[in-house]
Amino acid sequence: MENEKFDIQKELEVLGDFTTISSVPQPVPYVYGQTLVKLMKKDDRIVSLCADVQWPTENDYIKKHFPDRYYQMGIAEANMMGVASGMAKTGDIVFAHTFSAFANRRALDQIAMQIAYPKAKVIILGFLPGIATNLGVSHQAIEDIACFRSLPNMNIFEPYHEAQLLPVIEMALNSSNPAYIRMKKFDKMYADLDKTIQIGKPQILQEGSELAIFACGMTVDIALEAASEINKKYNHKISVVNVFCLKPINEISFNEIINKHKHIISIENHNVIGGLGSILSDIISTKGLNAQLTKLGVQDTFAEGAETDYLFKKYGISSEAIIKIYKNLKKK
């Protein structure tokens, strides 16, 4: 053992995307990395900053293709945001990469004062969203949406599958505001792009009656799974809505969907305070809508380090939790 060389790349491959632990190293998909490199080829103003998380954020791929436009900033997220703002003022379009928890907890003051306030052309990519990591509480961002929602001028996106990645990035690029994109690593490259999405508007994936599930990011597939099971068992088609854009919000579009349903469920990989559920409760209360809202997500508690599937089920971010609510609603 003493003579064995420590291979950091091999260790990272075993950890995969930090959502599970596998004894067999898996090939690393560079869906985001390839997407940003394509954009960098088209626009030489785009640069990439990375807070010493090259592999998990696919910046090793970006560095390989554009070493002169890649900047390793070290484990100094607050400093990185200040540098990003300065570079943006010189005409660069800056993509700043870190983990979601670190963007929010370590650099919020710099993001507020140096990026959001002057509307600097900076796009912040936060990887390992919510409790979707086995690295524990220090790396679990359960309040990032709440914090970034409270910043004026800040757009927030969370694509739920690979086909929405490029359209979401293009929305961020085309806006005059800076943006925060809540990211997961995708396991396959997109064949086609989802061109149906529009900034601020929720995307209806399935239209049904009485109950609508609003989901974002990693919880969209959970909502679709629950809807399929409900349709199968109870012959009832319910609505599923993907909220890929958490700010800005087109309230008219939300109102139209909510008004068609008696019951609303929000499910999110985030604290139920300040995230998707709070967006919906704000709309329902301020507009005087009659729908009953149930919030699924992290119930204002810290989680722990474990595989994502286990954590989601433990904290009620699951199709089983949705179906249980549906059964209770049927009894009333």
pLDDT interval class at 27 (50, 70, 90): low
What does the pLDDT look like over 39-69, one tens digit per residue? 999 999 999 999 999 989 999 999 999 999 9
**How would DSSP label each residue in 55-99?**
TTTTHHHHHHH-GGGEEE--S-HHHHHHHHHHHHHTT-EEEEEEE
> Residue 154 and residue 145: Cα distance in Å, rounded?
11
Coil, strand or helix at 219:
helix
Tokens of 158: 């969370």
User: Minimum mean pLDDT among 6-15, 114-123, 195-204, 211-220: which range?
Assistant: 6-15
Residue 25 scores a pLDDT above 70: no
> Residue 19 and residue 127: Cα distance in Å, rounded?
11
Average pLDDT over residues 110-133: 97
pLDDT of residue 188: 85
CA 110 to chain centre: 21
Cβ-count burial 59-96 (b if 16+ within 10 Å, e if not): bbbbbeebeebbbebeeebbebbbbbbebbeeebbbbb
Q: Is 136 left (phi over 0), alpha (psi -120 to 50) or beta?
A: left
pLDDT of residue 14: 45
What does the pLDDT look like over 287-305, one tens digit per residue? 999 999 999 999 999 999 8
Cβ-Cβ contacts under 8 Å for 45 (sequence gap 6 or more): 91, 92, 93
Percent over 70 (pLDDT), the chain: 92
What does the pLDDT look like over 220-242, one tens digit per residue? 999 999 999 999 999 999 999 99
Residue 247 scores a pLDDT above 90: yes
Tokens of 137: 């509480």
Pairing verdict, β 155-157 and 203-206 = unpaired
* Residues facing 203 on adjacent strands: 242
Residue 1 scores a pLDDT above 50: no
Residue 6 scores a pLDDT above 50: no
Average pLDDT over residues 195-224: 96
C-alpha torsion sign, points 98, 102, 105, 107:
negative
pLDDT of residue 87: 98
Residue 5 scores a pLDDT above 60: no
Nearest to 279 by CA among 287, 61, 38: 287
CA distances from 277 to 219, 280, 328 (A): 13, 5, 19
Nearest to 66 by CA among 76, 58, 74: 58
User: Please, what are the domains in the chain?
Assistant: 8-183 (3.40.50.970), 203-331 (3.40.50.920)
What does the pLDDT look like over 138-168, one tens digit per residue? 999 999 999 999 999 999 999 999 999 999 9
Average pLDDT over residues 132-137: 90
- Within 10 Å of residue 127's Cβ, how many Cβ atoms? 27
pLDDT of residue 277: 98
Cβ-count burial 161-191 (b if 16+ within 10 Å, e if not): bbbbbbbbbebbeebebbbbbbbbbbeeebe
pLDDT interval class at 23 (50, 70, 90): low
pLDDT of residue 331: 80
